[in-house]
Amino acid sequence: MEPNPLIPFLKPQGVAIVGASKDPTKLGYGLARNLTLCGYPGAIHFVNPKGGQLFNREIYPSLNAVPDPVDLAVLLTPPAFVPQTLQECGERGIRAAIIASGGFKETGPEGAALEAECVNVARQYGIRLIGPNCIGTIDTHVPLDTTFLQPPGPSRGEVAFISHSGAICAAVIDWVRGQGIGLSALVSLGNQADVTEADMLQLVAEDPHTSVLTLYIEGISSGRRFLDAARRVVRQKPVLALKVGRFESGQKAAASHTGALAGSESAVDAAFAQAGVIRANTTEELFQWARALAWSPLPGGRNAAVLTNAGGPGVTAADALELNGLRLAHLLPETEQALKTVLPPAASVHNPVDMLASASPDHYAQCLQILLADPGVDQVMVITPPPPMYSTGGIAKALIPIIQRTEKPVIIALMGDRLIQEAVEHFRAARIPEYRFPEWAASAMGVLSQRADFLAARSEILPRPLGCDESKARQAVANENQIGGLSQETAVKLFEAYGIPVLKLELAETAEQAVEIGRRSGFPVVLKVASPDITHKSDVGGVLLNLKDEQAVYDGFQKVILNARNGLPQAAIQGVHVQRMLPAGQETIVGMVRDPQFGAMVMFGSGGVEVEGLKDVAFALAPLTGLDLERMLEKTWAGRKLRGFRHLPPADREAVCDVINRLAHLAIDFPELAEIEINPLRVLEAGQGAYAIDVRGRISR
């Protein structure tokens, strides 16, 4: 197996800095300083046509003069000279280069053209590029520092950080150092002209010093490549991501509710969920969660105990735990009895356990041991505001040996600031996660459970359902004459070919034809205006339900046509669709829209006329796993109530799952389908099936 060509970016044999400067005000000086002072054990070479010496090392006039070994070049030259310098790298045999210089596509069309030229030169010589417009890489365990940032650099640790932003890197290095969080590696990707976050994931995950990977992402260059890379990595090590740019100023018009409700962020959420990437909402959250995942074992369940010396923080913790998907554990009677033998009579031995303000370090230690011994407790939050009689440092010293021996996670909520600093230092030195308030501690515990649940729920891609006739469906698509929109007739044929139950829909151009169709199919029937220009038929009075006889159908035909013409005069009206009326059931929506980055996204949620108002929907990427399907149903009220609710009997949940899976495979087989939707999918009582009632879609040729 050939070595990863990206290895020199973090573990090079020798580094050449092109643009090293003797001027302390220049970035080239800072870069040379950091590489020299970080303790890098490999060969260091400085290159500048002016020559001379820097940090007691010779400055070579060109790359050709640089001796071996050198497998990484860091370029900090004026942008116009970068293509030529890359050519010199290629001729010298250097196959990895970091372009730290700015002035490329971030500046406009001319810069973009220059960046493209750099990529072409690099490909000609087989050079992999990081950047341009980046700050470089750090590996604290080599150690290596190819950045020009002000020292000190990050402390040695277990958390890797891959970032699109150099400025975020600079801030994070300083902040995590103050928080006691060490980094194993840092990669600033800049413009990602070549190497992307997907490329770096596997390399960083292979580092034995890295326990957790964190990402700051402004955009994903190749959705499917990222998804494939993340899937491979997440089973090895947890991946946390902060994806910014959530909100768009506008949304393209779409032919369906699915298209209107889906956005690029829906695709990102679906991709992260499917791969097991945990999405953070803030930079602080990203690293506070990373600290817990790096330093704590994973819980065996979601039952949590709270140990505190005050009632208020205990109640706060209980709320925060539930907010993060955890439960207060029910303590065994033996556990509560053991607590009573340790604590004063006024203490509360029910969860949350309130030891009272007089709690000593010994109380904390004994009670924590008792709680950890309870088989119904999966994890523990220990809360300590500055106690009136003892130091938090003393409490920390009493707790640390117990926490280090247990296989259950224990998260500390140290409430305060100055009076808790001694305890902070003790816990950080012992690699035990501590947070300022119960809310942060509960958030970290929730992420530990999320990670544990993901690893426990190994879910494979759902098999292709029987009865999917792709050739029959292709014939239906080939015969489609409508441009852009997908006609009802073609959509019905597609669904029938893929085994999706759909009510037969027949077009009547006259009232007499509508009556004949109703007589043949059996009453009652539904009438719907047939028009490619009317998306929301009920909004213009274009739908009539439960027509029970011929006269009602005859009169209804006239009414539907008149309503549609009055409501939308410019619409082309082809006639009226006639459809058999189904029994009452639960109305859901199932749809698919194609994201430009991630491909086909399947949607499920509450259907009917209020779908866009309710926005009770969930998305997943096709092909679906069993976990994706379960998550979609459990995330939505539409999915949860399929099990029954009050007056609603249980509906046919299995039939819904089958329809969603069939639609996902239809989307995979037909990339020309831009979007397609069933609204509503009428779900009858358990065992009676689910039927597509109204279908719309759009095809791209």
pLDDT value, residue 618: 94
Q: Which CATH fold would you assign to the domain 504-581?
A: Dna Ligase; domain 1 (3.30.1490)
- Predicted confidence band of residue 269 (pLDDT cuts 50, 70, 90): very high
Q: Are the C-beta atoms of residues 146 and 35 closer than 8 Å to each other?
A: yes
d(C-alpha 2, C-alpha 355), whole Å: 59
d(C-alpha 659, C-alpha 528), whole Å: 23
Domain with CATH 3.40.50.720 in the chain: 7-210
Q: Which residue in the block uniquely carries the two structure tokens 């991501």?
A: 241
In DSSP notation, 139-207 reads: ETTTTEE---PPSP-PPEEEEEEEES-HHHHHHHHHHHHHHT--EEEEEE-TT-SS--HHHHHHHHHT-
In DSSP notation, 381-435 reads: EEEE---SSS-HHHHHHHHHHHHHH-SS-EEEEE--SGGGHHHHHHHHHTT--EE
Find, among 408, 233, 215, the residue nearest to 307 by Cα: 408
Residue 256: is its pLDDT beyond 50?
A: no
| Prior bond of 501 cis (ω within 30°) | no
Find, among 163, 131, 135, 151, the residue nearest to 36 by Cα: 151
d(C-alpha 70, C-alpha 153), whole Å: 24
Q: Which residue in the block uniquely carries the two structure tokens 């994201």?
A: 595
pLDDT value, residue 247: 66
The pair of structure tokens assigned to 216 is: 């700051």
Distances (CA, A) of 242 to 198, 280, 289, 290, 361: 15, 5, 12, 12, 38
d(C-alpha 97, C-alpha 112), whole Å: 18
Distances (CA, A) of 26 to 30, 76, 154, 199, 429: 7, 10, 22, 31, 37
Q: What is the mean pLDDT of residues 384-402?
A: 93
Q: Are the C-beta atoms of residues 324 and 443 closer than 8 Å to each other?
A: yes
d(C-alpha 225, C-alpha 198), whole Å: 6
**pLDDT single digits (tens) 86-98:** 999 999 999 999 9
Residue 255: is its pLDDT beyond 80?
A: no
Mean pLDDT, the chain, whole residue set: 92
Distances (CA, A) of 365 to 356, 362, 396: 14, 5, 9
Residue 249: is its pLDDT beyond 60?
A: no
Q: Which CATH fold would you assign to the domain 297-456?
A: Rossmann fold (3.40.50)
- Predicted confidence band of residue 613 (pLDDT cuts 50, 70, 90): confident
Domain with CATH 3.30.1490.20 in the chain: 504-581
| CATH of region 7-210, choose from 3.90.1720.10, 3.40.50.720, 3.90.1560.10, 3.30.360.10 | 3.40.50.720
Find, among 345, 339, 387, 346, the residue nearest to 365 by Cα: 339
| CATH of region 586-699, choose from 3.50.50.60, 3.10.110.10, 3.30.470.20, 3.30.9.10 | 3.30.470.20
d(C-alpha 86, C-alpha 118), whole Å: 7
**pLDDT single digits (tens) 447-479:** 999 999 999 987 789 999 999 999 998 888 887
d(C-alpha 473, C-alpha 502), whole Å: 15
C-alpha 119: how far from its chain's center?
A: 29
In DSSP notation, 251-300 reads: ----SSHHHHH--HHHHHHHHHHHHTPEEPSSHHHHHHHHHHHHHSPPPS
pLDDT value, residue 252: 44
pLDDT value, residue 342: 95
Is the whole model's pTM more than 0.85, yes or no?
yes
pLDDT value, residue 12: 97
d(C-alpha 631, C-alpha 660), whole Å: 13
Residue 29: is its pLDDT beyond 80?
A: yes
pLDDT value, residue 228: 93
Residue 258: is its pLDDT beyond 50?
A: no
Q: What is the mean pLDDT of residues 287-310?
A: 97
pLDDT value, residue 90: 96
Domain with CATH 3.30.470.20 in the chain: 586-699
**Residues 59, 62, 65, 71, CA torsion sign:** positive
User: Count of CB atoms within 10 A of residue 501's CB?
Assistant: 16
**pLDDT single digits (tens) 300-342:** 999 999 999 999 999 999 999 999 999 999 999 999 999 999 9
**pLDDT single digits (tens) 208-242:** 999 999 999 988 888 899 999 999 999 999 999 99
- Predicted confidence band of residue 701 (pLDDT cuts 50, 70, 90): low
Residue 251: is its pLDDT beyond 60?
A: no
Find, among 382, 334, 320, 386, the residue nearest to 354 by Cα: 382
- Predicted confidence band of residue 484 (pLDDT cuts 50, 70, 90): low
| Prior bond of 132 cis (ω within 30°) | yes
Q: H or E segment at 634?
A: helix 626-635
